[in-house]
Amino acid sequence: MIAVVNAVQRRLLGLMLACYVLAGVFPAPGERLRRLALPIPVGASALTVPMVLLAVMLFNAGLGVRVSDLRGVVSRPVRLVLGIAANALLPLLVLPVVALGLRTWHDPAEAEGLVVGLMLVLAMPIAGGAASWGQNAGANVPLVVAMVMGSTLLSPLTVPLGMHLAGQLVGPDGAGALDDTTTVDFIARTGAGVFALVSVVLPCLAGVVVRVALGEDRIPRVLPAVKSLNLVNILLLCYINAAGALGQALAHPDPDLLVLALGLSGAVCCLTFCCGRWMSRWTHSDQPDGVSLTFATGMNNSSAAAVLAAGWFPHRPAVLLPILSYSLLQKIVAGVVAKPPRPGKRGVAADYARLG
């Protein structure tokens, strides 16, 4: 089973692309799954199937965290705090520039949809996949995992703040006249914080608690099955999220919007990685800590952003397109930045699923 899981992980990017194609050609099953909801309130909305899948993904991520590996990182918190702060504050610098540049776009609603989509993905916590990609590049993996956990715990605060910023950048005083400006404000006030708490923070903490309860001796026996479930979960979530945007995009083709979404997502993604690398040089970090900063700054949990966007903006493909683009592009950029693993080098990331 381990060999199969590892083979699937190596082909995860290609499988995600296949899910995108499937969602574009056969979006109806994904749309039906996305609309299914349980009679359990989550803020101002109900608990949906994508929220459950996201919670399972974050629970599995928590199972991959070794608390003992984090103690040394917490005792030297400067790099840890810097990575978390950079990931949280970078949207405050990037998004106003993007919104200003999109003022000249011919369709204000499309421009503002792109701004909201990018804000959603940048406001999300650091992706768990940063640990796996960082290990390939020789990162200080416990430091990356600590950054993931820290930004996850802060997400009930950072996600609503990000939505507040998006609300300021869109509307009549922003890039144009978005008809969903009130929706953005409403999410920021009532939905985003609860969503981050229920779908991101609590499942991740539950996974950590279960790992501690099971003990390090029994965890290796359950991790292969957990990883298998997680890979299926990731691909199903990818298909459901993509069906919400690509089905509409292909039914009513808008090539210039697709190109703009890809171009913007790629530019912002590369910028975040470059900022992380610049910070590592500015702080004179050693090689492992510098790589950790680079990946923590550059990778965000795009799956969580897609779930939130698909739940609140199902009729606005311009919101989901930059999130889906960012999800793929950050993995491509991470693969370019990362180096092949060193022989015999293993660590906590070996137990940490590729997420986001």
Please tell me the distance from the alpha carbon of residue 343 to that of residue 339, in angstroms, as a whole number. 12
Are the CB atoms for 267 and 98 separated by under 8 Å?
no
CATH number assigned to the domain comprising residue 52: 1.20.1530.20
Q: Indicate if the pLDDT at residue 291 is higher than 80.
A: yes
Q: Is residue 149 part of a domain?
A: yes
Indicate the SS3 state at residue 117: helix
Q: Indicate if the pLDDT at residue 340 is higher than 70.
A: no
Question: Which pLDDT value is given to residue 339?
Answer: 54
Domain interval for residue 253: 2-351
Backbone angles phi and psi of 241, in degrees to 5: -65, -40
For residue 290, give every residue at least 6 positions away whose Cβ sits within 8 Å of its Cβ, in sequence order, or none.
Answer: 277, 280, 281
Q: Is residue 267 part of a domain?
A: yes
What's the pLDDT tens digit per position in 197-207? 777 888 888 88
Q: Is residue 211 part of a domain?
A: yes
350: confidence class by pLDDT, cuts 50, 70, 90: very low
Range from 16-25, 68-77, 167-176, 344-353 carrying the lowest mean pLDDT: 344-353
Question: Which pLDDT value is given to residue 59?
Answer: 86
What's the pLDDT tens digit per position in 133-165? 777 777 788 888 888 888 888 888 888 887 777
Question: Which pLDDT value is given to residue 349?
Answer: 47
The percentage of the chain sitting over the pLDDT mark of 70, rounded to a whole number, equals 82
Q: Is residue 356 part of a domain?
A: no
Question: Which pLDDT value is given to residue 224?
Answer: 80
Q: Is residue 305 part of a domain?
A: yes
168: confidence class by pLDDT, cuts 50, 70, 90: confident
Averaged pLDDT of the chain: 78
Q: What is the helix, strand, coil percentage profile of the chain, to 5?
A: 80, 5, 20
Are the CB atoms for 127 and 330 separated by under 8 Å?
yes
Which residue is associated with the tokens 């608690």? 209
Q: Is residue 79 part of a domain?
A: yes
341: confidence class by pLDDT, cuts 50, 70, 90: very low
Indicate the SS3 state at residue 48: strand
Q: Which two tokens stand for residue 151?
A: 């930004």
Q: Is residue 244 part of a domain?
A: yes
Greater confidence, 177 or 56? 56
Q: Which of 11-15, 101-105, 108-112, 150-154 has the highest mean pLDDT?
A: 150-154
Q: Indicate if the pLDDT at residue 189 is higher than 50.
A: yes
Q: Which two tokens stand for residue 5?
A: 């899981």
Residue closest to 254 by CA, chosen among 315, 313, 312, 318: 318
What's the pLDDT tens digit per position in 120-132? 888 888 888 787 7
Q: Is residue 323 part of a domain?
A: yes
93 by Cβ neighbours in 10 Å (0-12 / 13-18 / 19+) ranks as: exposed
Strands 37-42, 45-48: parallel, antiparallel or unpaired by DSSP? antiparallel
Please tell me the distance from the alpha carbon of residue 86 to that of residue 99, in angstroms, as a whole number. 20
Range from 17-31, 147-161, 225-239, 305-319 carrying the lowest mean pLDDT: 305-319
What's the pLDDT tens digit per position in 81-91? 888 888 888 88
Print the SS3 string covering 229-284.
HHHHHHHHHHHHHHHHHHHHHHHCCCHHHHHHHHHHHHHHHHHHHHHHHHHHHHCC
Q: Domain tally for the chain?
A: 1
What's the pLDDT tens digit per position in 301-339? 888 888 888 777 777 778 888 888 898 888 888 878 765
Which residue is associated with the tokens 């800590």? 289
Which residue is associated with the tokens 């979006």? 27
